[in-house]
Structure 1
């Protein structure tokens, strides 16, 4: 009986912690223009935009690399902007994923896919994940589709520092 009580107590603590983390992770709906404005307003030397979705396996696999990059280089050197391509009714899943990854914030893509894609780059096919690197002045300097490695991500960012 003691083990069952202890197990139930541990599960309830885990549930409470998960619920609290989910409520602290922020998801802000935004159009491409709003996101690009946030990039221009950032004071970081390099701005990284990672467009991802909870249902995209390569996105989920590479997500920790961006969190680690931001933690390692710090906010003066790099600002990472996460943009979820999930649907509006998936916000709870997005918050839960962010909390699990230790990320506090993500934009949530709004507007038509075609307009959104073209606002970021005419070369972007709309495939996920997609990553965009901007310099200190907010100019697009690098872009790729598909999953990256942590080493390649660091190399590309350091090339702009």
Structure 2
């Protein structure tokens, strides 16, 4: 049995990543707020998520500490059009996770901060994963499945499952929508499939701040 590595980022790394992430997320938040007033498709998406407005607003006090860069959106919209695969190569979409609050995270084995935060995401799933909440970590390495599979086995990540998009289509879609500027990128999505908050950069996802944020999102 593989011994799990301790989770979490070192203070020095976290400070450096957080500064960069804060700058990037600030730009992302501006883009997201403005983009929703653009074409008809975005307006329709926002209308479908009108009921999620209050939920997103209620999360603002929980965007603090380790997850301070997790910026609540001012106009929730559907996260759709994302196609990927499970560990067996079966096609999966975000519609398969409706009725669950989802913490969607994109990662790659070549992304150092992604590698750092994977054990923490695994711990978060172990602690809070349920029929109501799921950490959905999607690997975007190109090539075959062996590299990401071996990496997860090596560090003892066994609660997340292996979801993949070797085409990087998921990342490119989120980039086009102004949500992804690099890796890792993390979105908090409610049970209706509506975006509540987002950040670029790593976080300590198994810490008290992250757990409080998730608990607030999942609580009716």
When the two chains are superposed, the root-mean-square deviation of aligned CA atoms in Å is 2.7
* Equivalent in 133, 141, 152 of residue 78 of structure 1: 133
Q: Name the counterpart of 1:124.
A: 179
Distance 1:28 1:138 in 2: 23
Distance 1:136 1:71 in 2: 19
Q: TM-score, normalised by structure 2?
A: 0.51
Q: Name the counterpart of 2:87.
A: 26
Q: Per-residue CA shift, 1:53-106, capped at 9, x if unaligned?
A: 1111100111111111111113123111111010123x2111112223224622
Contact 1:49-1:82 within 8 A present in 2 as well: yes
Distance 1:129 1:38 in 2: 22
Contact 2:140-2:167 within 8 A present in 1 as well: no
Q: Name the counterpart of 2:26.
A: none
Q: Name the counterpart of 2:14.
A: none
Task: Answer yes or no: is 1:133 the counterpart of 2:152.
Answer: no
Q: Name the counterpart of 2:210.
A: 153
- Larger helix percent: 1
Inter-CA distance 154–120: structure 2 relative to 1 (3 Å threshold) = farther
- Larger strand percent: 1
Q: Name the counterpart of 2:163.
A: 107
Look up the SS of the partner of 1:50 in the other structure.
strand
Contact 2:126-2:159 within 8 A present in 1 as well: no
How far did residue 37 of structure 1 move? 2.5
Structure 1 segments of 4+ aligned residues over 3 angstroms from their partners: 27-30, 110-113
Q: TM-score, normalised by structure 1?
A: 0.67
Report how many residues are paired. Answer: 131
Distance 2:87 2:128 in 1: 22
5+ residue gaps, structure 1: 1-16, 19-24
5+ residue gaps, structure 2: 3-85
